[in-house]
Structure 1
């Protein structure tokens, strides 16, 4: 499903936007974003997992994201816990794809937060709802049966623009910078506080968005992006990685990226 987003971004690939694909074509719904300011040595890392709204077999107001409680196998933990527990400095988010009929449905029209074709949500918020659903399923009386529904999760949603088109005072930059994206996500996190259950993972999310303006590098991820095409294959990746390069310099710190992307194999 992440091919929908990377395919749209590929049209803008070039010196300031690089898309790197792993060897394995089927990477599920995971996508990594890196917002890199070269001159300031500042990084913001975002991990996204995409989920699609289920088919229209019920009324739009009752439709849900049926794969939210997916487990790779009985021996593995729930996928939502793996995303929620993503180690620093990653900021884990969900990307929910919604059908056009839902976005135009009177049950959702005019509501804030709004339902759009693609909505984001903090993984910690969605995980709290799913933990409540699992706990309620074994309780008496049973609770949480509706916790995967769009109508229930909507208060946690925000628009994709918060990530890809945040407000910026740096007019010279043509791509989102780590500072503008982190500020935008912090604003959404604070704004959605009334809908957030009190649980420990929320504070961790806010902390990662509020780190000092210094280089933060995830374990096992190189700081240097090599010279090469704007769309490339990287054998070391597990998921597609989109790198937004701001603060370009005239020295070796900034990679040389060709404008003409190579074809994905």
Structure 2
């Protein structure tokens, strides 16, 4: 799992670089997310279950559940993916300056939606902790503008949805003629951290094959509290306020979700999930607290 957290950002970044060779179009977020989910599918089994919905709805690209079966403790992470714009415009005739590279879809409003997508993510109900997953070109991570800077820009970066939403609210509230750069990588970088926060949190997992919820929660909380320290001009009062405003989802909860049913490790056309959902099962037991997971896609569920 830790090896994947290290190698996957490089793979995603290199793939995005290759889109410059496409005669038409570009790689969509869904493509990158399918690769992310597909990479985790290699670990599918007794410790990891992937559920695919009947039909994907808007609001979040991946849901992650970190579940400790023995204790019933859970941590729920909702992720929405956004990719960096290409190095050239749509017509591929004009180069975009590195400082202007941005996540153009951050202010997206889905068809028939009453509000912006970023607000839907930010306001995810308990027990979810909402995050953004940003996909970046490998060439950008090596550019002098970002190479050697902190937080490190990688092929995949995470950020708390509340921090990105605050930036976008400022952009929306600005005067029409005042152009804020709050969708640009150069502006949002200060909120970034790596996917190791959720896939390879520090600490001894006690021989678990996947990260237990308490370790992921501790890792995310540390990154959340570090954010204010990394921003120039912030002081102790800001740090205290940030702790008071900590997202309610950033808590490990006990017995707030039903037991995952018995069945295969990869499940398609699931009516009880709206987006691809990955459950990391630690603390397995020999009694009925732990589901019986098989690698047979045709196994009965129940």
Fold-level similarity (TM above 0.5) = yes
**Counterpart residue number, 1:17:** 48
Contact 2:129 2:247 in 1 (8 A): no
Q: Distance in 2 between matches of 1:3 and 1:116?
A: 18
- From 211, 215, 221, the counterpart of 2:254: 215
| Between structures 1 and 2, the one with greater helix share | 2
Alpha-carbon offset, residue 82 of structure 1: 0.5
Mapped to 1, the partners of 2:263 and 2:194 lie a distance apart of 32
Mapped partners of 1:83, 1:37: distance in 2: 25
Q: Is the 8 Å Cα contact of residues 44 and 216 (structure 1) preserved in structure 2? A: no
Q: Give the Å deviation of 1:215.
A: 1.0
How high is the TM-score relative to the length of structure 1?
0.88
Q: Distance in 2 between matches of 1:214 and 1:73?
A: 34
Alignment of 1:115-130 (within 5 A): 115-130=153-168
Matched, 1:189 2:224: yes
Q: 2:173 aligns with which of 121, 132, 135?
A: 135
**C-alpha separation between the residues in 2 aligned to 1:123 and 1:202?**
16
Match for residue 111 of structure 1 among 146, 149, 163: 149
Taking the aligned partners of 1:206 and 1:82, their CA distance within structure 2 comes to: 15
Number of corresponding residues: 253
State which of 191, 196, 212 in structure 2 corresponds to 1:156.
191
283, 292, 295: which one pairs with 1:247? 283
Q: Which residue of 2 aligns with 1:146?
A: 181
- 2:263 alignment counterpart: 228
User: 2: distance between equivalents of 1:72 and 1:93?
Assistant: 18
> Gaps spanning 5+ residues in structure 2: where?
1-29, 89-95
Give, in angstroms, the shift of residue 237 of structure 1. Answer: 1.1
Unaligned stretches of 5+ residues in structure 1: none
Partner of 1:30: 61
CA RMSD of aligned residues (A): 2.4
Do the aligned partners of residues 147 and 87 (structure 1) sit closer, same or farther apart at CA in structure 2, a change above 3 Å counting?
same
